[in-house]
Amino acid sequence: NAGVMQNPRHLVRRRGQEARLRCSPMKGHSHVYWYRQLPEEGLKFMVYLQKENIIDESGMPKERFSAEFPKEGPSILRIQQVVRGDSAAYFCASSPLGIDRGYGYTFGSGTRLTVV
């Protein structure tokens, strides 16, 4: 069981470029969550997706950020026109059922985004 796979592990982008972060959930998990963690801070919720559906994007900035979880392939978190303030660790987590069913999250290793 490969666990939650995130890639790349590290990503460096210049200001104004686009960043694409990928997440493949654990086998059998259909719920995907993205969190952002700034240095020395906690985890901030961004978006919750199921296959082909965005369930809750209340934590996503209104501009430049988007997420998808297509029928085939990994979930993608896309950040357009990155700025220095986007530098953070982005974690993806998955669960087999909704979190309200009592399952803990399984987190991926994260993508550390650095904007230069």
Pairwise CA distance, residues 115 & 17, whole Å? 9
Least distance (Å) from other proteins to the CB of residue 105? 6
- The reply to whether 55 sits near other proteins by the rule CB under 8 A is yes
For other proteins, give the closer residue by CB, 17 or 107.
Answer: 107
Which of 53, 58, 63, 71 contacts other proteins by CB under 8 A? 58
- The reply to whether 1 sits near other proteins by the rule CB under 8 A is no
Cβ atoms within 10 Å, residue 52: 10
Least distance (Å) from other proteins to the CB of residue 98? 5
Quick check: 46 and 59 in contact, CB under 8 A? yes
Q: Total number of residues binding other proteins (CB under 8 A)?
A: 25
- The reply to whether 18 sits near other proteins by the rule CB under 8 A is no
**Contact footprint for other proteins (CB under 8 A):** 33, 35, 41-45, 48, 55-56, 58-59, 91, 93, 98-100, 102, 104-110
